[in-house]
Every structure is written in structure tokens, then in C-alpha cells.
Structure 1
Amino acid sequence: MEDKADFDFLFKEYYPQLYYYAFHLINNMEASKDIVSDAFEFIWTNYAKIDKATAKSYLYIYVRNKSIDFLRHQNTHEQYVQIYSELTKSYVETEYQEQDERMMHISKAMEKLTPHTRHILEECYIQRKKYQEVADELNISVSAVRKHIVKALQVIREECAKKS
């Protein structure tokens, strides 16, 4: 039981000092607690092999090394976040720019449509009405609505293909 008493003394004596040492190095409360707890766990599992006179040195070296590892990991993590942020920013900007261009081409193509065909296209695609509803409102057949839609989509595809 002498080992347990020695370990308890080590823990009570050095935990606060090691915590502040780790906190001074990494400036993170939770990570500092974890690192110091890991240090004591390491000492406990290897207590039979460790010279009791140098246990304090083992603890400080362990905390220093794990704090450095933590900082390296943080630095790597921040670099990944920055790279990801830059990549997604350019992707999103490109995506919106392409979408704006597509909308401009579609608007230009819709200007080429007859007012009747444009109205049918808007009712079906913008107002989201069924072909039957549009046919009933305009007093035309469903197949006539389909023909206007096919014609409108063809004009839009051709206009978009020119600009691509």
C-alpha cells in the first residue's frame, strides 16, 4: 500500500501545478485537465517501473510533450479549416455565378417566346399548376399545353447551349 500513498501524495501535490503548466502552454482549460489526467494515468500504470525520485520530472515531461502534440494538432486542424473554407468559398461563388448566368439565359430565351407560350410556361413551371389546370383556364387541350411547353423548353435549351 506504500505505492498508493506515494501516488496519492504525487497527485495532491502536483496536479494543480501541472494543470497550470499545461494551461500556460495551450490556453485551453478542458484540454489541460485531460492532459494532466493522462499524465497521472501514465504514471499510475507504470509506477512499478518509475524511479519515485524522478516521478515529478516524468510528469512535467509528459505534460509538456502532450501539450506540444495538442498544439500541433490544433494548428493542423486550423489549417484544414482554412483550406476548406477557401475551397468552399470559391465553389459557392462559382456556383452562384453560374446560376445567375443560367437565369439570365433563361430570361433571354423567354423573351423570344410568344406571350401565349410564355404564359403557359410560367403557369406550369413558376405557378406549379398541372397541365390540366392550365388547359381548363385557357380553354385549350392538354396536348396543346404540352406542345407549348415542349416549344418553350426547346427555345430555352437552344439559348443556353449557345452560351455554354
Structure 2
Amino acid sequence: MTQNKSVCDESVFASIYNSYAKDLHNYLYYKYGDRYDPNDTVQEAFVKLWNNCKEVTFEKAKGFVFMVSKNMMLNEIKHQKVVLKHQQVKPKDYTNENPEFILEKEQFYKKYQRALSKLTEDQRVAFLLCKTEGKKHQEIADMLNITKKVAEYRIYTAFNIIKAEIKELN
């Protein structure tokens, strides 16, 4: 039945968008962070899908938007590297929070970032999809095109690495 579905049909396109937009956003956010604006990238990827709807089959639509958005993110990262060479951003150096709280928060955040950096990309993506988004192991497996057992293993090993790095979690 899916062979007859055309991506150019507005209701089919809407169902593709509704099915994959949130997962695509979360995937981009976990893989690249929020500084490259995953919201805009998701929207642009779906615009490109719409513009190429006659060439993209219904079965390939998910892969198309994921690949297009990944390529856009990589291009943006390259662009930002060039921009950073020519510009230095000075961060805000004041706040209204308690200095002790700020210090503890920064220390914990650094530990968490360090722990996440020790994970492989595959572990980090699976872990964040599970723990932050509450995705089930089978959903993660489907999103990443892996088996449920592989998804479980990635999450389990990631959690153990993070626990070893951040003693406050033990």
C-alpha cells in the first residue's frame, strides 16, 4: 500500500512530518547541540523534501530528511569554524545567582560534559534519547537502524561510564 503513496500529496507529507520531525530534532540536538539551531534545520530539511517530493519515494522520505539535515548541520559547523577564526565572543560575566551555587553547578556540568565526551557518539545518542526523551529501547533501535539488544547495550554501557565519572550519581 505504501508504494502508492506520493510524498507530494499534502496529507502524506503531513504524516511524514508528524511522524519524524520531533525525532529528527532530538537526533540533531543530541548529536550537534543547540548552538546550530536544530529547529531551523528540521524545517529546512522538510522544505527540501517538499521541493524534491517527485524524486523521493515515501519509503525513502525518512532517510532523506535525516541525511539532508545531517549534511546541513555539518555545513553549518564548517561555517561556524570560519566565523570563529575572525571573531571572538566575550561571554556575559555577571549573574544574580549565589556564587557557591554557580560554582557547584559549573563543576557538575563540567563533570557531566566530560562524562558525555567519554562516550562514543553511538552511546551518547542512544543514552540521551533514552534518558532525556524517554524513548523506549525499541524506538531507539528503530530510529538508529540497530537491534533492540544493541540499543540496550549502548545505553547500559553509557550509563556505567557516566556513573564512573560522576561520583554524585552513585
TM range (shorter): 0.3 to 0.5
TM-score calculated relative to the size of structure 1:
0.46
Bigger radius of gyration, 1 or 2? Answer: 1
TM-score calculated relative to the size of structure 2:
0.45
Q: Which has the higher helix share?
A: 1
The structure whose RCO (Cα within 8 Å, separation 6+) is larger is: 2
